[in-house]
Structure formats: C-alpha cells, structure tokens
C-alpha cells in the first residue's frame, strides 16, 4: 500500500514514513474497499448479481484505484445487459493502470464488434422509450417495444421486469411469472423479481379462494331441496299429429320462416355493421389527415416567421458597420436561422450555443432565438450527448468533452452530460476541470444519483 500524498510504501504505522501524512483513515478505506470487493466477488460467483453490484459500487467509492473492483463491476454490468455502464467501469480502470490490465482486453473486444455494441446501446435507448410509453399508460406500445428490446439484448433485466409488470397489470400472471423466473436464472438475488413473484402468488391465491367460494355457494344452491311451492307442473298441450303430411308441412313452414329471418334481419345487420366499420375507418383517416395538415401548416408558418425575422435582422446589420458586440450575436443568430431553414437542426442549435439571449438587441432578435431554440435545442442536445458518449467509450475523451459540453449548454437539465464530462477529465488526468464539473453536480443537481460520487471526488482532491 502506498501513501496517497507522496506515493511512498507504507508500513504498519498510521503515519507515512516519508512525508508524515496521517494515513489511518486512508488505510481503513482501502481495507474496507478490499472487503467489499471480496463480498462482491462471492456474490457474483453465486449469481447474486444485484447484491454484487451494490457491494462493488461501495468498493470503488471507498477506493477509486481498486481496479479489480472496477473490472469485476464492469463484468457484472455486462452480465445484466448494461454494456454502457460496463464500458464506463473498464475505461476508468484502464486509465488508472494501463499495463497488464485486463480491462484493455474487454474494451478491445467491444471495439472489435461495433455493430453488436451499437445494437445493445440501441436496445437500452429503446428500453427508455418503452419506460416513457409505460409512464404515459401506452401499455400496448411499451409491450411491443420491450419484446424487441429483449430480442436484441436478452440479458437486459430491466426490460424483463418492466414487461412482467405490464403483464401483471393485464392479469397475465403466467406470462409475467415466466419472465421473472428468467430474470432469477440470470440474477438469483434480484429483489424486484422476487417482489413481483410474491405479488403474483398473492393475487393468484386470492383469485383461487374467490373461485372456490363461488363454487361452494353454487353447489349449496344446486343441492338445496325443492319445496312444494318451488315445483310447478305445467299443463300438457301436446297432441299427437293426425298424419305425416301435417308434420312435413310444419317442417317446410319452419324452414321458410328461418330463411326469411336470415334475409330480413341478419343480412341487413351484417351490412349495416360493415358500413359502420367503413364509415368509422374513413372518419379516423380524415382526422389523421386533418391533424397532419394542421402540423404541416404550423411548420410552414413557423418557417415563414423565421425567414421574415432573419430578413429583418439582415437589413439591420447592413445598416451598421461593426461586426463586434451585439452585431456579432446577430450574425450568429442569422446563421442559425439559415441552417434551420436549410433543415439542418443540429448545426442550427450549435450556432445558438454561445449566444446570450439577454444580450440580443431588440425583441425581434429574441423572438427569433426563442423560436429556433424551442424547435431544435432538445433534440440536438440528445444528438450531441450520444456522439459524446460514443467518443467516451472509444477512449476519445477530448471529443467526448466537446460534444457533451454542447449537449449541456443546449439542455441545462442534462446532468448525465455533466457527469461524463467530469469522468472524461478524470481519464485525461485533468483534476482541476474534473472538480469544476463535479462541483456543478453538487451545486445544481443535489437530487442526482451522482452527488455522492461527486462529493467524494471533491473531498479527496482538496
């Protein structure tokens, strides 16, 4: 074990023999990290993967240089279908120690099969879409999407759990149970799967008890003896027909009456049903067409408005001679408008990134900025974030920082972008900039899941 201050080899004393630093808490943290790593390893060997993840996360929090914990955590994430988190752990490990680190082999295996990585990354993205559908109560769409996710990424346990929950909502307990048992085959200790299975058992037992009570009640009613008032003997009106001819005539009359009923009642009803179904379909298509036309008209109106505002601002700039200050902002804004009109939303959003809307001269300029920003910023932020993460996972941290910064500037709620910018700076050993972005997390995203890790980094690098 080496001193965190000077790197000297430590002995049994709680004081560094070289620089005199107090290493008592440092030693305890290191030992605790090793203990949690061993616990995580034991749980992983038993396929108690959720519990293993919890233990290994504690191990890397207590000692960020515990490369064995990073590597094993990555393997466990990979086993539950979360390849993005797995790569993140391996990249961190590989940047701590490059020589003879198996994390480099894992990263290379992913890089050598980019098609499969893209497929798995898309499955995670589609899972998030399914989760959004479920929250909006579009359960049919979520069901269809989740089946595709499981087909592409059969280890993504979150997809199994969500689909099982939808089946439980629809009272399809057999299907739900089958999915949850599949989850437990991968992760024996999965608490959510066990919770859902217990709920299914409770509901099915309750249903069986209700059915038994109803059957018992019916049996009691069926076996109840009839009293004299319950028995009614109808007076017989049957007469033996006088001959066979009358019987034949009655049969023919019955056939004719049946045919008439079919012709006058059933066929018109069937035709009326077809007609109503046809009219309903026509109405639905008309509504969709009207909606599409309305959206198209809105977009055309928005485009005309942008063009008009752009032309107005161009005239103002022509009247001025300087290209600095507010004029420079206007030039960037007009460039963004031109790109928006040319149907290049990402480039239009990028042109807006460094524009301070409060510094724009006049309401027309601010209105144009808000129109373009509202149309392109969020989608462009997601696009830059995806590009940044792709660069992050391939080890191009400078490019990752560039694109993730764009994503954060376009969408100030994107804490994931801030977190991965900080991790990229850590990978580049740029502690000052890493601290800057971890500080943003602790100051502006206090409810985020990243706060504890960010605070731990800041505390350990003061």
Instruction: Look at residue 97 in the predicted model and tell me its pLDDT.
Output: 85
What does the angle CA 146 – CA 414 – CA 91 come to, to the nearest 5 degrees? 75
For the segment 416-450, what is each residue's pLDDT rounded down to a tens digit? 999 999 999 999 999 999 999 999 999 999 888 88
For the segment 278-305, what is each residue's pLDDT rounded down to a tens digit? 455 555 555 555 554 555 555 566 666 6
For the segment 231-277, what is each residue's pLDDT rounded down to a tens digit? 444 554 445 444 555 556 666 656 666 666 555 555 555 555 554 55
Task: Give the residue among 36, 38, 50, 86 at the shortest CA–CA distance from 188.
Answer: 50
More confident residue, 408 or 11: 408
What contacts 179, CB < 8 A, 6 or more positions away? 160, 161, 163, 164, 167
Domain 24-112, CATH class in plain words? mainly alpha
Q: Report the predicted TM-score, pTM, of the whole model to 2 decimal places.
A: 0.43
Instruction: Look at residue 439 in the predicted model and tell me its pLDDT.
Output: 93
Instruction: Look at residue 324 in the predicted model and tell me its pLDDT.
Output: 46
DSSP 262: I
CA distances to 221, 223, 224, 230, 440 from 218, in Å = 5, 9, 10, 18, 68
Instruction: Look at residue 5 in the predicted model and tell me its pLDDT.
Output: 64
- Token couple for 322: 């300087």
Instruction: Look at residue 278 in the predicted model and tell me its pLDDT.
Output: 46
At residue 321 the predicted structure's pLDDT band, cuts being 50, 70 and 90, is very low
Checking if the pLDDT of 133 tops 90, the result is no
Checking if the pLDDT of 314 tops 70, the result is no
Kindly report which listed range (135-144, 357-366, 402-411) carries the lowest average pLDDT score. Answer: 357-366
At residue 225 the predicted structure's pLDDT band, cuts being 50, 70 and 90, is low
Radius of gyration of the CA atoms of the chain, in A: 35
Q: Are 186 and 155 in contact (CB under 8 A)?
A: yes
| Sequence ranges of the domains in the chain | 24-112, 118-208, 245-279, 300-412, 414-462
Interatomic CA distance for residues 302 and 370, integer angstroms: 12
Checking if the pLDDT of 182 tops 80, the result is yes
For the segment 37-74, what is each residue's pLDDT rounded down to a tens digit? 999 899 888 888 888 888 898 888 888 888 899 999 99
At residue 198 the predicted structure's pLDDT band, cuts being 50, 70 and 90, is confident
Mean pLDDT within 400-419: 90
For the segment 341-385, what is each residue's pLDDT rounded down to a tens digit? 777 777 878 888 878 777 776 676 777 777 887 777 888 888 888
Kindly report which listed range (1-5, 168-172, 400-404) carries the lowest average pLDDT score. Answer: 1-5
| Rounded-to-5 percentages of helix, strand, coil across the chain | 75, 0, 20
Q: Please provide the CATH number assigned to the domain covering 118-208.
A: 1.25.40.10
Interatomic CA distance for residues 57 and 70, integer angstroms: 8
Average pLDDT over the chain reads 77
């Amino acid at each position: 074990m080496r001193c965190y201050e000077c790197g000297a080899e430590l002995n049994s004393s709680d004081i560094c023999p070289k620089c005199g630093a107090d290493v008592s808490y440092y030693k305890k943290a290191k030992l605790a990290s090793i203990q949690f790593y061993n616990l995580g390893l034991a749980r992983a060997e038993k396929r108690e993967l959720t519990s293993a993840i919890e233990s290994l996360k504690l191990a890397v929090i207590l000692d960020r240089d515990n490369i064995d914990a990073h590597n094993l955590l990555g393997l466990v994430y990979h086993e539950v279908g979360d390849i993005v988190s797995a790569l993140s752990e391996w990249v961190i490990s590989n940047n701590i120690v490059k020589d003879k680190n198996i994390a480099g082999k894992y990263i290379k295996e992913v890089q050598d099969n980019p098609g499969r990585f893209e497929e798995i990354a898309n499955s995670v993205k589609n899972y998030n879409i399914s989760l959004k559908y479920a929250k909006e109560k579009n359960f049919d769409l979520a069901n269809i999407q989740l089946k595709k996710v499981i087909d592409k990424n059969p280890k993504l346990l979150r997809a199994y759990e969500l689909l099982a929950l939808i089946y439980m909502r629809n009272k399809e307990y057999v299907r739900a149970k089958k999915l949850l048992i599949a989850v437990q085959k991968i992760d024996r200790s999965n608490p959510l799967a066990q919770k859902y299975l217990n709920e299914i058992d409770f509901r099915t037992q309750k249903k069986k008890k209700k059915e038994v009570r109803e059957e018992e009640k019916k049996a009691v009613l069926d076996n109840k003896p009839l009293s004299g008032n319950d028995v009614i003997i109808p007076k017989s009106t049957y007469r033996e027909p006088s001959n066979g001819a009358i019987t034949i005539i009655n049969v023919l009359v019955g056939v004719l009456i049946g045919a008439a009923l079919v012709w006058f009642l059933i066929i018109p009803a069937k035709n009326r049903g077809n007609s109503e179904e046809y009219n309903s379909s026509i109405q639905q298509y008309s509504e969709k067409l009207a909606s599409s036309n309305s959206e198209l008209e809105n977009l055309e109106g928005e485009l005309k408005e942008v063009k008009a505002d752009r032309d107005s601002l161009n005239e103002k700039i022509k009247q001025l001679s300087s290209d600095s200050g507010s004029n420079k902002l206007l030039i960037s804004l007009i460039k963004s408008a031109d790109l928006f009109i040319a149907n290049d939303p990402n480039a239009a959003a990028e042109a807006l990134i460094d524009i301070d809307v409060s510094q724009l001269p006049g309401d027309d300029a601010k209105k144009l900025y808000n129109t373009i920003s509202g149309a392109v910023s969020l989608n462009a932020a997601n696009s830059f974030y995806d590009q940044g993460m792709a660069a992050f996972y391939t080890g191009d941290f400078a490019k990752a920082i560039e694109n993730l910064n764009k994503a954060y500037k376009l969408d100030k709620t994107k804490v994931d972008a801030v977190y991965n910018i900080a991790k990229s700076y850590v990978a580049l050993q740029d502690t000052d900039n890493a601290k800057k972005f971890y500080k943003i997390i602790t100051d502006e995203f206090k409810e985020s899941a990243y706060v504890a890790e960010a605070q731990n980094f800041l505390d350990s690098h003061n």
